[in-house]
Structure 1
Amino acid sequence: MTTGVPGLTELWSRFENWLAKHAPGDYESLRQGCPGADIKRLEDSLGFSLHEDVRTTLELHNGVTIRRASTEPGAFLLGYSLLDIDGILEAHRDLVSMVEDAREEGEVDLVVGCIADMQWVPLARNISGDLLFVDHRHHHLGEIGEISFGDSEYRMLWPRMDLMLVDLCHSVESGAPVTSVPRVPVLYEGRMLEWHIRPPQQVS
């Protein structure tokens, strides 16, 4: 079915080209893509097949160089850094542990599908430990969600990764806020991208 939206590889290339020109520190933080054997190792550990968007992203880039401080580049996805395969597995194990603890404590309704789920595949993490993930549940397949630990429920930010990248590309190219959250792109020291919360519009 034709949607009018460019393919994911083309969209990643468009976003990366903008980073290379305007935020070189972020661009240089991108790591080389994963071989198929590593992606299979990830799927075997998860226990299910990866959504094609996650697979494509890992084939392009196995995450970014790990940040040690907020002044280091690499958090160009709304302040989140792309995870490599080992980072995905670590973050997923944390989600699995939360689900298992909830089952033992009789708190499934408060946790599963709200703040953790075994079928959420972490995509990126910020320096506080919050996550962006790709939903692998049947009725939510491919959605991009945000877990902010401390909130009682996750937020669905985009229905698909290609739409996430369309939104991010438009935002960095025009300076407009992304559509899913009130965040605007700001360049820091001409080397990395930050996302600042836009204050609410004043009503005159």
Structure 2
Amino acid sequence: MDDEVLRGLMEAQRAAIEARQVADAWQRIEAWLVRHAPGTLAALRRGAIGGEITGVQDRIGVRIPPGLRALWCEHAGVYDVPWASFMLGDWALMDFDAVVSVYEMMTDIQRRDGNEEYPIWRPAWIPICSYGAHDNSSGLFLDAETGRICHWDRYRDRTQRYESLTTYLEEMADRLEAPSLTEGEKPGLLDLRALVWGPPSDPDRAALWEPFPGS
């Protein structure tokens, strides 16, 4: 077996492991939503089918990593509802139109105002979550070169938050399954139907929010 074939086999193995890890973490999250947050579950869009992910890849010109493909095959974003921001950190999972729109907007800003030393946006950065279902002011992006999950906002903050998409989803699943064993954000339910991390800072939401005790 020559080196090129061996490298190809190893890359395929790594891709399969990454996709399986993301899918497994997501299944833990979705199992929790099925049991406790039907409103959030109903806000999720269907999984991507056919060439939809390839279409996104072609539009932004970036190869979609296996883990992100696996996530999008589960659900390709959320509908624009008041409780859309259910991901850990109060982020909404972006749909494909929002992904492309933010990517193109940030790429244009980089072309106009950015530089290589302090980039506003790099070609390998794929937006995956935002402040709301169709928000473009802040969110999380996946660096397709390093696999890391980083924060972006209008003030040019580009801070690493998680080592990988798997790490992010596994931490979310851990906090849902055992909230008493983790520090920081806690899962709770809004009107006993929607997952909201808290305690919420908004007084109106806080009045309706019930912390999840764990089970």
Match of 2:113 in 1: 102
Give TM-score, length-normalised by structure 2: 0.75
User: What is the aligned-residue RMSD (CA, Å)?
Assistant: 2.6
Match of 1:75 among 68, 79, 85: 85
- Aligned residue number for residue 91 of structure 1: 102
Counterpart position of 1:195: 197
Deviations 1:20-75 (Å, cap 9, x if unpaired)? Answer: 211111111111111231111111111121111111111111111123xxxx2221
1:157 deviates by: 1.2
Question: Secondary structure of the residue that 1:53 maps to in structure 2?
Answer: helix
State how far apart, in whole Å, the 1-side matches of 2:54 and 2:170 are. Answer: 28
Q: 1 CA distance for matches of 2:151 and 2:182?
A: 14
- SS of the residue 2:51 aligns to: helix
Q: Output aligned runs, 1:115-130, within 5 Å.
A: 115-127=120-132, 129-130=137-138
Residue aligned with 2:141, SS: strand
Match of 1:64 in 2: 78
1:184 to 180, 183, 186: 186
State whether residues 177 and 184 of structure 1, in contact with CA within 8 Å, keep that contact through their aligned partners in structure 2. no
Amino acid at match of 2:142: V
The structure-2 alpha-carbon separation of the partners of 1:25 and 1:177, relative to structure 1 and needing over 3 Å to count, comes to: farther
For each residue in 1:80-136, what CA deviation from the matched residue of structure 2 results, as whole angstroms up to 9, or x when unmatched? 111111111011111101211224xxx5533x1xx4322210111113631111112
Residue aligning to 1:202: none
Q: Give the letter for the 2:85 counterpart.
A: A
1:83·1:124 contact (CA, 8 Å) conserved in 2?
Answer: yes
CA contact (8 A) 1:134 1:144 kept: yes
> Match of 1:159?
163
Deviations 1:135-186 (A, max 9, x none): 12x3xx2111111323x4312111111111111111112225867xx43322
1:40 is matched with: 54
Identify the range of structure 1 (170-179 vs 127-136) with the bigger mean alpha-carbon deviation.
170-179
Q: What is the match of residue 134 of structure 1? A: 142
Quick check: which one's helix share is greater? Answer: 2
Contact 2:151 2:157 in 1 (8 A): no
Question: Looking at CA atoms only, which structure, 1 or 2, has the larger radius of gyration?
Answer: 2
How many residue pairs were aligned? Answer: 181
Unpaired runs of at least 5, structure 2: 1-12, 201-215
AA aligned to 1:186 is G
Alignment partner, residue 151 of structure 2: 146
Distance 1:65 1:10 in 2: 23
Structure 2 counterpart SS, 1:157: strand
Query: 1:74 is matched by which residue type in structure 2?
Result: A
